[in-house]
Amino acid sequence: MNKIVWFRYDLRLIDNDAFLNAIKNGNILPIFIFDKGYFKLEVSSSFHLKFIIESLKELDNILQKEFGTNLNIYYGDTLEILKKIIENFNINEVFSNKIFKNKYLNDLDLNLKNFFISKNVKWNFYNQFGIQLNHRERYKWSANWNKFINSRLTTGKSNCKFLFDQKLDNFDIIETNEIDSKFIQKGGRKHALDLLDSFLDSRSENYQQEMSSPLTGEKSCSRLSPHITYGNISLKEIYNKTKKKINTIESYSNKKSLLAFKSRLAWHCHFIQKLYDEPEIEFTNLNKAYDGLRENDFNEDYFLAWKEGKTGFPFVDACIRYLIKTGWINFRMRAMLVSFASYQLWLDWKKTSKHMAKLFTDYEPGIHYSQFQMQSGTTGINSIRIYNPIKQSFDQDVDGKFIRKWVPELRSIPDKLVHEPWKLTYLDQKGLGIEIGTDYPSPIVDNKISTKLAKDKIWNVKKSTKSKIISKDILNKHASLSLRR
């Protein structure tokens, strides 16, 4: 029996059901495919590619060390590549973990399913997350998820022979843009394990208090998200170790922090379930009553200023510039950036979300589009929250340290005024050697006026009968009882 084990968003050997079931017997060709079309999509970026390449190099090393084989890495059109492999190696079965991604990959999988059927190849897939795959039963969702996450990590022995494709291209042909590697997260299982250990041992101590500021969140959040996205480590493994750690610690606040962290692992699957149940949320408002609200008002100049971190709101600009350099930012700041784009700048989330997908190394469509819609008020079922970027600046960057680091034009401005440099008088500006409007932009919108306008517009829809009726259906379909988000 000749089989393919196809690594996709599960770049590990431990707790990888597809791999462990494949290697029980037969001849196995372990593969990874860089899909050319996928990496040309507007949501793809070098942040993703670099992370994957590093993860693959390590996976290849582990396969070498533990099984004396190599990973076969291909680049091109997935269907064409699989056609060739199946023919050349006379493949009977394919093993992979189910993926829950965007329309491009859903369509690809549908084509592959038909192709495999036509070739009499059996496609075995496994569920690496707590997602209900058949009929969604919201009353059972949490119980099912708990059963999944508390189940044993899978391990297994190999009783197979590994195959290697001699005709492989060198995947170093893949081009990535220059990114300063000193700022970005490294891919690979070793980094994932190091992060988990350091988080559980010490970094999580003040997780709850420190996660909201970009200054402290960088260290106090787990930073596991890209590793979860690409599967360097399984969600179960993280949950398992966290649970064990919680049982050994005495400090009440540390315990509370780890409980808060643990519940976020359930949110991860809860959001992916939403996309699985309703893939259209990648492209359309969850609540159709909001259709047409922003779509025709898109201001390209505002979009450009937001993308480049030149809005004239120092904290917003600092967060964007930090994200551009690092490929990560904490939850609160992601929410503020989206809220600012969707409300004060009145930009349609369908365009801003695609841009940010590129910047987030951890881009996970299920979480991403649900959160974009929540922070833009288009779900109808979540409370409307319009972040005040000036308040966030004073709260999360009290003495302006973050702003000064990421918006160096403002380096000379004293603590209090660095949050609102437009308040500097002409003489102050002269004295500090900066001209607002020239060296650093004046605010592109008036915060109070734009917030008020946005609030009126969004509430107009929210209180409409149409929005309320649709919201009821959405709640019935998507809410998972006993999860607070």
Distance (Å, whole) CA 348 – CA 412: 35
Interface with ligand FAD, residue 225, by CB under 6 A: yes
Distance (Å, whole) CA 78 – CA 82: 6
Distance (Å, whole) CA 395 – CA 215: 11
Interface with ligand FAD, residue 362, by CB under 6 A: yes
Interface with ligand FAD, residue 13, by CB under 6 A: no
Q: Are 370 and 464 in contact (CB under 8 A)?
A: no
Q: Are 328 and 361 in contact (CB under 8 A)?
A: yes
Interface with ligand FAD, residue 9, by CB under 6 A: no
Q: Are 477 and 136 in contact (CB under 8 A)?
A: yes
Interface with ligand FAD, residue 322, by CB under 6 A: no
Name the DSSP letter for residue 443: P
Name the DSSP letter for residue 342: I
**Binder to ligand FAD among 321, 364, 373, 454 (CB under 6 A)?**
364
Amino acid at 321: R
Site map for ligand FAD, 242-271, x if CB under 6 A? -------------------x--xx-xx--x
Interface with ligand FAD, residue 375, by CB under 6 A: yes
Interface with ligand FAD, residue 349, by CB under 6 A: no
Interface with ligand FAD, residue 94, by CB under 6 A: no
State the pairing for strand pair 2-7/93-97.
parallel
Interface with ligand FAD, residue 221, by CB under 6 A: yes
| Number of CB atoms found within 10 A of residue 64's CB | 12
Interface with ligand FAD, residue 302, by CB under 6 A: no
**Binder to ligand FAD among 50, 203, 223, 236 (CB under 6 A)?**
223
Task: Compute and round to an integer the Cα radius of gyration of the chain.
Answer: 24
368 or 404, CB closer to ligand FAD?
368
Residue 416 makes CB contacts below 8 A (sequence gap 6+) with none
**Binder to ligand FAD among 368, 404, 419, 478 (CB under 6 A)?**
368
Interface with ligand FAD, residue 355, by CB under 6 A: no
Q: The tokens of 72 are what?
A: 């076969």
**Binder to ligand FAD among 293, 335, 345, 418 (CB under 6 A)?**
335
Residues present in the chain in total? 485
Interface with ligand FAD, residue 191, by CB under 6 A: no
In the complex, least distance from residue 315 CB atom to ligand FAD, rounded to whole angstroms: 16
Which residues here bind ligand FAD, judged by CB under 6 A? 211, 221-225, 228-229, 261, 264-265, 267-268, 271, 330-331, 334-335, 338, 360, 362-364, 367-368, 371-372, 375
